[in-house]
Structure 1
């Protein structure tokens, strides 16, 4: 009988250490961004695998395709895939301008609003809410709205 006194609290403590539900953190794919100005993408999920790419672009958007322990299989805007440590990534949403030619950043999320800036392809910015084909976009403090069709990192991953 004495054994049960110790076993029941032990089982209860073990149950407390496991989350009640997995939540959105376990679902892939999802959007993320590189959270440092220097990040290595490897060919496999571990430090022993060779480095395939070195990224030097903080906030570059990436798609998380798979999880394996602390490693994430990512896809970058060019479609390249490889493994990166979760410590180098952030859930903060960002986007990169794609396509040809400049795009206009407007004061509001509609075509008739004043144009604040013109942005070239390859520019990375933090992503705000997206509604009716327009997304809030922040490029180093220059904030406005751009057409979502010219951004990689919006919509469903």
Structure 2
């Protein structure tokens, strides 16, 4: 049986290392996907990364949580709570995390991160709240000075996997 030359084995090792290498860095240096919020009351949603691309719609909800799923140096492709994908300029986004109740009914915000904990407040349908932190499957949110705990994943803006495909 004939053996491959030593250089072939080295090339195979290098090819394997390249395949297992982490994805290349994003222009911002931040991970994708990640959540951000919209900074202004009016944010143009475009079909591509540039002002020369077609305007598809205008977001009119300051603080709306969106998930960055791709980026260029100046533009972010975002997924919104309704499943829409669009490109927005990076200056229109804010790194502060917000969440949204996308369910048709109010969501209970609990005093402690336990299913049996008493209610602290209710978050209405389509309402926004600031995400304080998530730990052990629960997230603490705050709105208008009142805070509470909800199970991770009950609010849009807490699930880690990409939300739009």
Length-normalised TM-score, structure 2: 0.74
Alignment partner of 2:29: what SS?
helix
Cross-structure match for 1:134: 138
Q: Following superposition, which runs of at least 4 residues in structure 1 exceed 3 angstroms of deviation?
A: 21-24
Flag the structure with higher strand content.
Answer: 1
Cross-structure match for 2:81: 77
Q: How many residues align?
A: 137
Cross-structure match for 2:48: 44
Cross-structure match for 1:5: none
Taking structure 1 as reference, are residues 59 and 131 closer, same or farther at Cα in structure 2, changes over 3 Å only?
Answer: same
1:24 is displaced (CA, Å) by 7.6
1:28 to 29, 32, 35: 32
2:148 to 115, 140, 144: 144
Residue by residue over 1:59-87, the C-alpha shift from the partner in whole angstroms, topping out at 9 and shown as x without a partner, is 21111111112011111111110110000
| Structure 1: 5+ residue stretches without partners | 1-20
The two structures, once aligned, show a CA RMSD in angstroms of 2.1
Cross-structure match for 1:155: 159
Taking structure 1 as reference, are residues 54 and 24 closer, same or farther at Cα in structure 2, changes over 3 Å only?
Answer: closer
Residue by residue over 1:10-49, the C-alpha shift from the partner in whole angstroms, topping out at 9 and shown as x without a partner, is xxxxxxxxxxx87983431111111122211111111122
1:96 is displaced (CA, Å) by 0.8
Taking structure 1 as reference, are residues 77 and 69 closer, same or farther at Cα in structure 2, changes over 3 Å only?
Answer: same
Alignment partner of 2:141: what SS?
strand
Cross-structure match for 1:11: none
Flag the structure with higher helix content.
Answer: 1
Q: Distance in 2 between matches of 1:110 and 1:55?
A: 35
Q: Distance in 2 between matches of 1:37 and 1:28?
A: 24
Length-normalised TM-score, structure 1: 0.77
* Preserved contact between residue 40 and residue 92 of structure 2 (Cα < 8 Å): yes
